[in-house]
Copies of this chain bind each other. A is one copy, B any other.
Amino acid sequence: MQEGFMGPHAAAFDRAEYDRRLAATRAAMARAGIDILFVTDPSNQNWLTGYDGWSFYVHQGVILPLDGDPCWWGRMQDTAGAQRTVWMPEACILGYDDRYVQSATRHPMQDLAARLIGMGQGRARIGVEMDNYYYSAKAHAVLGTALPDAALVDATALVNWQRLVKSPPEIATMRRAARISERIARLAIELAEPGLPKNELVGEVMRAAVRGVGDDWGDYAAIVPLMPSGADASAPHLTWNGEAMRRGEATFFELSGCVRRYHAPLCRTVHLGTPPDEMARASDALCEGLEAGLAAARPGNTTQDIAAALHAPLRRIGIHRPNRCGYPVGLSYPPDWGERTASLRKGDLTVLEPGMTFHFMPGLWMESWGLETTETILIREDGPAETLCDLDRTLFVKP
């Protein structure tokens, strides 16, 4: 069998790793009674086939039958990118005509439906990722109309769940991303000072993230740097602006290095000048909670046990977090570096297993300030979770 292009963009892992992924996904398909799966989530596409490219703004996906190679399907001009990035032979790369792109009269799902019928799947139970990114309501409606004899079955997060336990090569890749996360978090802390415009700080961080560490070049993270200051840090998802950093304000840095699309997010907070007592106490309780959460993050315990351990010391000082405190993390594309399966929160009963990785992310977004001290963690065979990044777990204070 002819293998795909093996240039510098080629799929990041060897064939055995992709075979493992296909087998796990197919077992889940069989359990769900799905004959063929259509995968739109870009991270799932990459995880199954290696496909990489900034083309997810148009309809595209991976077609995975129960037997044989998967196919990558997308816009004709993007088949050139698929040839360079997927592990399958060229016959498994399918392109649709450019006239389907962003048209009011044609829809790419008409092309997909015709291909599925051509594959003998016109009466199949077809899994579709109804709540994953980039599978639109319209795509679903057009596909359903064009496949009147098929059954479209919700397969939201079916692939994502197979990604929860990482293989050794995946963990190795996340460790490489963690080296970049450490470097850029340290850089942000070093550079932070009164008068420094936020965008200048972001520029240095982005440059360092892409330059990478050692032989590892940095890829773009699935989320841009978030670094609000002062009262703005009560909002979790503001990005930056051109305002100068000010004495008397805390700024959190929510960052991740990225290697071959794998992330290891890391957040730290810098206060310029002496922090108010309330913030210092909150930071101490948060660090105590993180330590307790790490201790609870071991095989056999559940995701909610981590949340419970974290929240106890915070509650003792009167802080009640209404939000989840983390999510699985690994391979991803914009707009999210989370995997969208388990959550670290009360009521979530996912049993922890070795090889799972989470962004343990207990942000404190208070009325007039915010604080983020977080870790990317790896569940080990026993004992507390390992933190993939090595950086002091504290509220950094600078003059």
Contacts and interface: CB of A to CB of B under 8 A. Distances in A.
Contacts of A237: 53-55, 78, 81
A102 B323 CA distance: 12
Contact of A130 (B7, B141, B232, B334): B141
Given A137-B128, A139-B131, A203-B207, A102 B338 contact: yes
A77 interface: yes
Interface in A96-129: 97-99, 101-104, 107, 128
B223 A197 contact: no
Contacts of A239: 52-54, 219-220
A234 interface: yes
B238 A9 contact: yes
Interface of A: 7-9, 52-57, 76-78, 80-81, 83-85, 97-99, 101-104, 107, 128, 130-141, 154, 156-157, 197-200, 202-204, 206-212, 215-220, 223-224, 226, 231-232, 234-243, 322-324, 327, 334-336, 338, 340-341, 343, 345, 347, 365
24 contacts: A8-B232, A53-B239, A57-B133, A57-B335, A76-B322, A77-B365, A78-B235, A80-B234, A80-B235, A81-B238, A84-B235, A84-B238, A101-B324, A102-B340, A135-B137, A138-B154, A198-B217, A199-B212, A203-B211, A206-B207, A210-B240, A219-B239, A334-B334, A334-B335
Contacts of A365: 77, 80
Contacts of A103: 343
Residues of A contacting B: mostly = loop
A220 B224 contact: yes
A335 B56 contact: yes
Nearest to A212: B199
Contact of A84 (B9, B136, B199, B232): B232
A140 B140 contact: yes
A80 B224 CA distance: 19
A90 B168 CA distance: 49
Nearest 8 interchain pairs by C-beta: A217-B242, A137-B140, A131-B138, A57-B336, A81-B235, A80-B235, A199-B217, A130-B138
A135 B378 CA distance: 33
A211 B217 contact: no
A44 to B, nearest CB: 14
Nearest to A76: B322
Nearest to A98: B323
A9 to B, nearest CB: 6
A231 to B, nearest CB: 8
Contacts of A136: 130-133, 135-137
